[in-house]
Amino acid sequence: MSRCLTPMVLNQLESAVGTDHVACVGSVLDAYALDVWCPAMMHVDRGKLYARPDCVVFPGSTEEVSRVLRIANLYGIPVTPHGGGAGDSGGAVPAYGGIVLDLKRMDAVREIDSRSLSVTCQTGMYQVDLEDMLNDRGYTCNHLPASANCSTVGGFLATRGSGVLSSKYGKIENLVLSMEVVLPCGTVARTPGVPMHSAGPDLNRLFIGAEGTLGVITEVKLQIFPLPTERRFRAFVFRDLSSALEAGRQIMTQGLKPCVIRTYDEHDTKVMVKNVLGLERTDVAAYMIMGFDGMQPDIVALQEEHAVAICMNQGGEDLGRGIAESWWAHRYDFYYPPHTLESKHFLYGVIDTIASYEDIERVYEAMRTAICKRFERYGIHFGGHFSHWYEWGTAFYPNFIVRDPPRDAYEAMRLYNDIFETGIRAAMQHGGLLNEHHGIGLKLGRLMDEQYGELFSAFQAIKQALDPNNVMNPGKLGLPVGRYA
């Protein structure tokens, strides 16, 4: 029995959710000690645990979540919400022990409004289950990130995630109409029924991306869409990255609505062209996949036609549909065995950033130069792609791999942190931002005050007001840890 989980507390938790829904046996606690944050996995590899909860609680209703949070407040026990455990920032790692709140029992669909096109569901539902259910009825969420098969709706809300179709359909916050939230003190609150009103700030946005530090989102009403009758993809190569980025910028700023633009940098282009496309081309430096979809095939075709013309004007070479459609069909393959990077004892990560079109190429160059130079001795792989395009800019999604990291878990984490700081600081100096649609979590919290400046104090004040006992997911988002330290 841990220090915080006294028999009295355990008894109260069991009364709150039922004895079958509280676990405090070692093997279960171990299973909840990590998500896919690389340092936590490296600790496991080396026979350690980065952190471990004292118990895991499986609430079945909003009321039960409320009861658990009241108990946690009464005794000052940390609570870490847990969805699919698929985030790579340590957001679901119970850094200071306490209660892990696994929300997956809360997986009911409450309502589908086919007139207003919305679905109301509990947030413990796997996104893939929600999507399957909607597809059966002719609808889609159009929120399809790589982790759609292993993340919950709540996970996407907590991390303010983006799906592969975000350029057209938006990020998760753009799909939220309203939410039910259990505040840290246990109070159940609901945001107004629809967004886009002008009555003060949009409080949905206060909780989206808060990674459970301000409460637990238990139910959400999301916008849905009819399944598109037409969805088509096309691939291009360019002789330089600048031309590809300019093509993407023109597509977005000329009012076209691609559902996908994905532009690979030179390093990843060479890998893709050789290994995926099977082409021996040394004269290309950027590879782009773009997609258009919708309910009217003629409009889809027309949009694609304009986009193709833009790409050709920028010197793009049309590779046709086949390979792009193959990418769509197999886009999740990379995450299944034997390709799972986490299985290979590598040190790896994604240093997600976002910037305006004015800055994005400089951001890219600065990150690449800084990381490749500083970590050359580790034989670091650094490459990435530009995805999630908007009218004003785009996100750069670089990944790094160190194939032979230090054996010691702490030393490996030190290197990991150094790579992230080097990359993000280089980005920030050139107009880029911390982006991380996997969540800030433990990974990047220390950089939050740099990003937000004075406003981070305001965020801290909100946290203090809503969660005076600091029970909700301590250690995340760079918020003060206080008494847990």
User: Does the protein bind another protein through residue 84 (CB under 8 A)?
Assistant: yes
Among 337, 376, 453, 485, binds another protein (CB under 8 A): 337
User: Does the protein bind another protein through residue 26 (CB under 8 A)?
Assistant: yes
Interatomic CA distance for residues 103 and 21, integer angstroms: 11
Two structure tokens written together for 97: 């022990």
Interatomic CA distance for residues 253 and 393, integer angstroms: 9
User: Does the protein bind another protein through residue 336 (CB under 8 A)?
Assistant: yes
The residue (of 85 and 154) whose beta carbon lies closer to another protein is 85
Piece in contact with another protein (CB under 8 A), picked from 23-31, 69-77, 160-168, 393-401? 23-31
Interatomic CA distance for residues 343 and 41, integer angstroms: 9
The residue (of 43 and 463) whose beta carbon lies closer to another protein is 43
Among 328, 332, 452, 456, binds another protein (CB under 8 A): 332
Piece in contact with another protein (CB under 8 A), picked from 1-9, 27-35, 397-405, 453-461? 27-35
Among 17, 22, 23, 310, binds another protein (CB under 8 A): 23
How is the beta sheet containing 99-102 ordered, strand by strand?
A: 22-23, 55-57, 99-102, 79-82
CB atoms inside a 10 Å sphere around CB 484: 15
CB atoms inside a 10 Å sphere around CB 411: 12
The residue (of 98 and 316) whose beta carbon lies closer to another protein is 98
Minimum Å distance from CB 425 to another protein? 28
Piece in contact with another protein (CB under 8 A), picked from 28-36, 156-164, 295-303, 408-416? 28-36
CB atoms inside a 10 Å sphere around CB 318: 12
Query: In sequence order, what DSSP letters do the residues of 388-455 get, joined into one string?
Result: EE-SSEEEEEEEEEESS--SSHHHHHHHHHHHHHHHHHHHHHTT-EE--TT--TTTSGGGHHHHHTTH
Among 1, 8, 15, 30, binds another protein (CB under 8 A): 30
Alpha helices by DSSP H, listed for 83-210, are 127-136, 153-159, 166-169, 172-175, 204-207
Minimum Å distance from CB 121 to another protein? 15
Two structure tokens written together for 429: 């100096």
CB 113 within 8 Å of CB 82: no
What is the DSSP pairing of strand 79-82 with strand 22-23? unpaired
Please give the residues from 39 up to 78 whose contact with another protein meets the rule CB under 8 A.
41, 44, 47-48, 56, 58
Q: Minimal CA–CA distance to 205: which of 248, 245, 158, 252?
A: 158
The residue (of 27 and 282) whose beta carbon lies closer to another protein is 27
Interatomic CA distance for residues 12 and 19, integer angstroms: 10
The residue (of 112 and 203) whose beta carbon lies closer to another protein is 112
Please give the residues from 134 up to 163 whose contact with another protein meets the rule CB under 8 A.
136, 149-150
Please give the residues from 230 up to 269 whose contact with another protein meets the rule CB under 8 A.
none
User: Does the protein bind another protein through residue 359 (CB under 8 A)?
Assistant: no
Total binding residues for another protein by CB under 8 A? Answer: 40
Two structure tokens written together for 147: 């982790």
CB 172 within 8 Å of CB 151: no
User: Does the protein bind another protein through residue 104 (CB under 8 A)?
Assistant: yes
The residue (of 23 and 261) whose beta carbon lies closer to another protein is 23
CB atoms inside a 10 Å sphere around CB 424: 24
User: Does the protein bind another protein through residue 333 (CB under 8 A)?
Assistant: yes
The residue (of 119 and 311) whose beta carbon lies closer to another protein is 119
User: Does the protein bind another protein through residue 343 (CB under 8 A)?
Assistant: yes
Among 54, 64, 102, 304, binds another protein (CB under 8 A): 102
The residue (of 137 and 483) whose beta carbon lies closer to another protein is 137
Q: Give contact residues for another protein (rule: CB under 8 A).
A: 23, 25-28, 30-32, 34, 36, 41, 44, 47-48, 56, 58, 82, 84-86, 102, 104-105, 124, 126, 128-129, 136, 149-150, 332-333, 335-340, 342-343
